[in-house]
Amino acid sequence: DSSHKWLSSVFNELRLEGKFTDAVLKVEEVEFPVHKVILCNCTPYFRAFFTRWANLEKTVFRISGLSPDTMRLILDYVYAGSLSVTENNVQELLIAADQFNILEVVHVCCSFLIEMLRPNNCIGIWNFTTVCLHAELRSKAFSFILEHFEEVVSCDEFLLLSVEELTDIIEKDSLIAQKESTVFEAILKWIAHSPKERERHFFALLIKVRMALLDVEYIRNTVLTNALVQKNKKCLSFIDAATKIIHQMDTFRAPLFHHSNPIARPRLPRAILLAIGGWSGGDPTNGIEAYDIRANRWTNVTTELERPRAYHGAAFLNGYVYCVGGFDRVEHFNSVRRFNPVTHTWQEVAPMYCRRCYVSVTVLNGCIYAMGGFDGHLRLNTAEYFRPEINQWSFIAPMHEQRSDASCTAFQNKVYICGGFNGQECLQTAEYYSPETDQWTTITSMNSQRSGIGVIAYAGHVYAVGGFDGNNRQHSVEAYDPLTDSWENVASMITPRSNFGIEVIEDRLFVVGGFNGFTTTYNVEYYNAATNEWCMARDMEIFRSAVSCCVISGLPNMAEYAVTYNFLPLSEEEEMESSSSS
Ligand SMILES: *[C@@H]1O[C@H](CO)[C@@H](O)[C@H](O)[C@H]1NC(C)=O
- What is the Å distance from ligand 1's center to 455 Cα? 29
- What is the Å distance from ligand 1's center to 131 Cα? 48
- What is the Å distance from ligand 1's center to 316 Cα? 23
- Over residues 93-117, the mean pLDDT reads 95
Looking at ligand 1, which atom is closest to the CA of residue 287?
A: 1
- Over residues 141-170, the mean pLDDT reads 96
Q: Of the ranges 2-6, 258-262, 495-499, which one carries the lowest mean pLDDT score?
A: 2-6
Backbone angles phi, psi at 204, to 5 degrees: -60, -35
- What is the Å distance from ligand 1's center to 304 Cα? 8
One-character DSSP codes across 79-140: HH------TTTHHHHHHHHHHTT-HHHHHHHHHHHHHH--TTTHHHHHHHHHHS--HHHHHH
At 337-379, the pLDDT tens digits run: 999 999 999 999 999 999 999 999 999 999 999 999 999 999 9
- Pocket probe mutation, ligand 1, options 302, 303, 346, 571, max atoms within 8 Å of Cβ: 302
What is the reported pLDDT for 58? 80
Number of other residues whose CB lies within 10 A of the CB of residue 315: 23
Confidence of residue 572 (pLDDT cuts 50, 70, 90): very low
What is the reported pLDDT for 258? 61
At 29-72, the pLDDT tens digits run: 999 999 999 999 888 999 999 988 777 778 899 999 999 999 99
What is the reported pLDDT for 479? 98
Q: SS3 for 230?
A: helix
Cross-sheet strand order for the sheet of 430-434: 407-411, 414-418, 430-434, 439-443
Of all protein residues, whose CA lies closest to atom 3 belonging to ligand 1?
302
Looking at ligand 1, which atom is closest to the CA of residue 541?
A: 13
Please state, in angstroms and rounded to a whole number, the distance separating the CA atoms of residues 474 and 150.
Answer: 40
Number of other residues whose CB lies within 10 A of the CB of residue 447: 14
At 183-240, the pLDDT tens digits run: 999 999 999 999 999 999 999 999 999 999 999 999 999 999 999 999 999 999 999 9
Quick check: 567 pLDDT over 60?
Answer: no
Of all protein residues, whose CA lies closest to atom 11 belonging to ligand 1?
300
- Over residues 409-425, the mean pLDDT reads 98
- Pocket probe mutation, ligand 1, options 300, 540, 541, 561, max atoms within 8 Å of Cβ: 300
- What is the Å distance from ligand 1's center to 309 Cα? 15
- CA count, 13 A, side-chain hemisphere, 322: 28
One-character DSSP codes across 403-467: -BS-EEEEETTEEEEE--B-SSSB---EEEEETTTTEEEEEPPPSS--BS-EEEEETTEEEEE--
- What is the Å distance from ligand 1's center to 546 Cα? 18
Looking at ligand 1, which atom is closest to the CA of residue 542?
A: 13
Which helix (H) or strand (E) covers residue 288, if one does?
strand 283-292
> Mean pLDDT for the chain?
92
Rounded to two decimals, the pTM is 0.80
What is the reported pLDDT for 563? 79
Quick check: 574 pLDDT over 70?
Answer: no
Of all protein residues, whose CA lies closest to atom 2 belonging to ligand 1?
302
Domains of the chain from N-terminus onward: 2-116 (3.30.710.10), 161-260 (1.25.40.420), 271-561 (2.120.10.80)
- What is the Å distance from ligand 1's center to 102 Cα? 50
- Over residues 275-294, the mean pLDDT reads 94
Please state, in angstroms and rounded to a whole number, the distance separating the CA atoms of residues 59 and 66.
Answer: 20
Confidence of residue 252 (pLDDT cuts 50, 70, 90): low
Q: SS3 for 153?
A: coil
One-character DSSP codes across 509-565: EEEEEEE-SSSEEEEEEEEETTTTEEEEEPPPSS--BS-EEEEEE--TTGGGGSSTT
Confidence of residue 332 (pLDDT cuts 50, 70, 90): very high
Please state, in angstroms and rounded to a whole number, the distance separating the CA atoms of residues 428 and 469.
Answer: 9
Please state, in angstroms and rounded to a whole number, the distance separating the CA atoms of residues 160 and 166.
Answer: 9
Share of the chain above pLDDT 90, in %: 82
- What is the Å distance from ligand 1's center to 365 Cα? 35
Burial of residue 318 (number of CB atoms within 10 Å: 0-12, 13-18, 19+): exposed
- What is the Å distance from ligand 1's center to 524 Cα? 19
- What is the Å distance from ligand 1's center to 574 Cα? 20
| Residue 384 identity (one-letter amino acid) | E
Of all protein residues, whose CA lies closest to atom 10 belonging to ligand 1?
300
Looking at ligand 1, which atom is closest to the CA of residue 303?
A: 4
Q: SS3 for 368?
A: strand
Please state, in angstroms and rounded to a whole number, the distance separating the CA atoms of residues 366 and 322.
Answer: 13
What is the reported pLDDT for 265? 84
| Residue 520 identity (one-letter amino acid) | T
Cα 431 to Cα 50, 88, 152: the distances in Å are 75, 51, 42
Residues framing ligand 1 (Cβ under 6 A): 287, 300, 302, 304, 541-542
- What is the Å distance from ligand 1's center to 300 Cα? 6
Looking at ligand 1, which atom is closest to the CA of residue 300?
A: 1
Give the dihedral of Cα atoms 26, 104, 106, 66; nearest 10 deg.
-10
Cβ proximity of 14 and 54 under 8 Å: no
Q: Of the ranges 350-354, 499-503, 574-578, which one carries the lowest mean pLDDT score?
A: 574-578
At 466-477, the pLDDT tens digits run: 999 999 999 999
Of all protein residues, whose CA lies closest to atom 14 belonging to ligand 1?
300
Burial of residue 15 (number of CB atoms within 10 Å: 0-12, 13-18, 19+): buried
What is the reported pLDDT for 56? 74
Please state, in angstroms and rounded to a whole number, the distance separating the CA atoms of residues 463 and 478.
Answer: 6
What is the reported pLDDT for 428? 98
Cβ proximity of 290 and 299 under 8 Å: yes
Looking at ligand 1, which atom is closest to the CA of residue 304?
A: 4
Q: Quote the crossing angle between the two packed helices 103-116 and 90-99, to the nearest 10°.
A: 150
At 502-554, the pLDDT tens digits run: 999 999 999 999 999 999 999 999 999 999 999 999 999 999 999 999 999 98
